Chain A
């Protein structure tokens, strides 16, 4: 026994210190004296190169440590960022950078840093998945496709603090785009020095935002402290933001919150009841994302039949879906591709252009179904394949839909649960009849949703193809007149319902807990969310 016991302990002692790097965890989640907060991230950011970032966790971190030319205020209005003033007309834009904007090593942020970042994002070798967002800049698309050299980008560095941009085609929302992550700056000398590892670790990044990252222990913690070189440092109250935990498990996060270890956690349909019994104050917020069922419009699919789609439209009750299946507050019944928060001409778009609400009418639906059967020449509609992801919630939603289709229309639904990559592969190759999909906004303009079902859009996985739709999208993208654009989008919204292109399910809302002593946290539809940049801790 002794002989075995000893090596065992030795091995244990040898290995234990190896994991010492993880042993710094703050005492309290919101500390008034040091103005420090502690968070839990849902996932590890894949990397933090702003030109290549695609996911929400990266956007959250980058939003705190970087700053673009423009930014959003707490009500979601565009405000100055690195640029202190700007002018945009139909042919181009000019930005005047503030002189006191500095990188975390103290050197000034210059116009060249933006030019370099945009050129790098567009370089074919970078293979940035978000490069398309820069396409409104002159020659950008050609550069991205390798047809023109990167130097041909229609951006001019007039001097260190002036930057001009020429547009490829007129665009009505360039100011909103500039606030997006892909437009964040990067410094040429630093980027070149780091090479391939730029953004892979805390030491491989330079920051120009209100915070800078000091430490990143992969899949364990990520620490940020106030950036002493930030131009508006006097209005930044927090000294440090520590993301000490990384877990997807919502129950684990709730337990951490109750234990006073983190200041914020998102709740779901399963955990909110526990939060209620723990007498925690629950808040709600609409994320701005829209979830819907997408049909397959490829030629051989029965979902190309409009009457079939209409039949489904008249039995799917988004209100029941939101109240009984999602069953958490904050979600809104899906009525349109365009969520309620989008701006229109003067007011909100959805108030100016009301979305039609298809009646839930079983008799009408069965009429449509009969017509569909005649047109398709079948006795019974063959089973429909519903492609969903492998998260527990998507399985639950699929089961509900299966029940509705069977009970109301006697249509069998085959649920096809696939892991992330397999689902994407099937979506792209068109191996489905219906797919549960969602779209989150990239920038604060209606076109972030509007062009989704344009025939050229690669994210239009069902290959919906309607020349009218395409025409309206072009108006929306290139017109500078708000009224013309919104009229086009209003018409587009009508087509979507009339043609039953998609079945909107819900506009996502989340419920969450936030430490009562932490004030000034902003929840955002676009950009870093939750935004702790201007947060402070009260006594």
Chain B
């Protein structure tokens, strides 16, 4: 067990190093000048800027400097948010994205499991059809449409109630998080519902269910103790990558709901060619994702006795 974990973690570190290198090369081959701005500057000022950010050195040199700094956990200073350390940006804004993402996954998981189980119970009957229709609606409308609609309905609710009960945008209280995380989790909820449904239907035919039935266990007990519990397992495997995808993919929701998350920084950084922020966020997110995948695999080993990790 320990050896397995260690092996996976080691592989994870190599992966992160790969990501950092690939991103570094990719970023530097994107044309465009990170130091250029609306107002043109003289050659002298430009030389000074290059010196400040270490862009006057050759590519390999920059790579070595970056790698040695990264090993010490220092991603440098942002190009656009001048004077701000990339570490500070990640420290300040990642918790926001993570809270939002975890809440979204939480809603998605609860919703997906409940809806999925319901559709399996009422297979091919009205509740199944209605839920599956909603699921498809959930995956067939882009998130920016949902975000805009979600916010608009908040405005309408507040207008109807005559006072601002649920905040329309911003960050801070649970009220601020509720609608954005629901919007963010919708796609995942739809995916989980479908997975749960097919998983449930498969489990029904397993021998242990028949055994349980033959033993004379009550249907409710069979449902909760055997069917649901076993059906959830495959759903869990996708949860890890989904958590990472959701925490990193909240750009649209963060923008529309004015949430100070890291997603906005990343998209802006890519558009503004903010080298240090791109590297910092990419390496951080990459490590986060790799870690999540490993975590889920290990948890899976704990939960499912059939899986033996070597």
Contact = CB atoms under 8 A, between A and B. Distances in A.
Given A1-B229, A255-B151, A22 B49 contact: no
Interface string A447-460: 00000000001110
In this complex, the member of A54, A420, A461 whose beta carbon has the largest number of chain B beta carbons within 10 angstroms is: A420
Interface stretch (B3-11, B54-62, B168-176, B214-222): B168-176
B299 interface: yes
B264 A219 contact: yes
Interface of A: 1, 3-4, 8, 11-12, 15-16, 18-20, 22-25, 40, 44, 46-47, 49, 52, 54, 124-132, 144-146, 196-200, 217-220, 244-249, 251-252, 255-256, 258-261, 390, 418-422, 424-425, 428, 457-459, 461
15 contacts: A3-B303, A4-B303, A11-B102, A18-B95, A54-B38, A131-B45, A219-B260, A246-B258, A247-B256, A251-B151, A418-B32, A421-B36, A421-B271, A424-B32, A457-B40
Given A252-B169, A459-B39, A124 B258 contact: no
Contacts of A424: 32-33, 36-38
A252 B257 contact: yes
B65 to A, nearest CB: 18
Given A248-B255, A258-B155, A218 B45 contact: no
Contacts, number: 189
Contacts of B303: 3-4
Given A1-B232, A15-B102, A249-B256, A459 B170 contact: no
A220 B258 CA distance: 8
A366 B32 CA distance: 37
Nearest to A47: B82
B168 A458 contact: no
A259 B48 contact: no
A246 B45 contact: no
B42 interface: yes
B155 A129 contact: no
Contacts of B155: 255, 258-259
A249 B172 CA distance: 19
Contacts of B127: none
Contact of A46 (B30, B81, B170): B81
A46 B155 CA distance: 31
Contacts of B38: 54, 424
Contacts of B272: 419-421
B33 A421 contact: yes
Contact of A217 (B148, B260, B271): B260
Contacts of A126: 48
B92 A218 contact: yes
Contacts of B83: 47, 49, 196-200
Given A46-B82, A47-B83, A428-B36, A8 B106 contact: yes
Contacts of B159: 258-259
Contact of A22 (B34, B96, B158): B96
Given A128-B45, A421-B273, 11 more contacts: A1-B228, A15-B95, A19-B99, A22-B260, A127-B48, A196-B83, A200-B83, A252-B258, A255-B151, A259-B158, A457-B40
Contacts of A248: 255
Nearest to A258: B155
B67 interface: no
Interface string B222-240: 0000001100100010000
B164 interface: yes
B209 interface: no
A425 B32 contact: yes
B118 interface: no
A23 B99 contact: no
Nearest to B82: A47
A255 B45 contact: no
A125 B42 contact: no
Given A15-B102, A198-B83, A420 B169 contact: no
Interface in B14-64: 30-34, 36-42, 44-46, 48-49, 52
Nearest to A12: B102
B200 to A, nearest CB: 14
B167 interface: yes
Contact of A255 (B39, B42, B168): B168
B260 A220 contact: yes
Interface of B: 30-34, 36-42, 44-46, 48-49, 52, 80-84, 89, 92-93, 95-96, 98-99, 102-103, 106, 148, 151-152, 154-155, 158-159, 164, 167-173, 228-229, 232, 236, 255-258, 260, 264-265, 271-273, 299, 302-303
Contacts of A47: 81-84
B306 to A, nearest CB: 16
A218 B48 contact: no
Contact of B36 (A131, A251, A425): A425
Given A24-B172, A129-B45, A421 B32 contact: yes
Contacts of B92: 217-218
A501 B44 CA distance: 29
A422 B270 CA distance: 11
Contacts of B82: 46-47, 49, 52, 200
B154 A220 contact: no
A156 to B, nearest CB: 26
Contact of B42 (A49, A144, A418, A419): A144
Nearest to A16: B99
Given A127-B45, A200-B84, A424-B32, A19 B96 contact: yes
A132 B272 CA distance: 24
Contacts of A129: 37, 39, 41, 45
Contact of B40 (A52, A246, A255, A458): A458
A144 B44 contact: yes
A54 B167 contact: no
Contacts of A420: 271-272
B258 to A, nearest CB: 4
Nearest to A41: B258
Contacts of B103: 12
A16 B99 CA distance: 6
Q: Give the 4 A-B CB pairs with smallest separation, nearest first.
A: A458-B40, A23-B172, A247-B258, A200-B83
Contacts of A425: 31-33, 36
A422 B32 contact: yes
A25 B93 contact: no
A63 to B, nearest CB: 18
Contacts of A124: 44-45, 48
A40 B258 contact: yes
Contacts of B299: 4
A259 B172 CA distance: 17
B280 to A, nearest CB: 14
Contacts of A220: 170-171, 260
Nearest to B80: A46
A349 to B, nearest CB: 23
Contact of B106 (A12, A128, A218): A12
B102 A218 contact: no
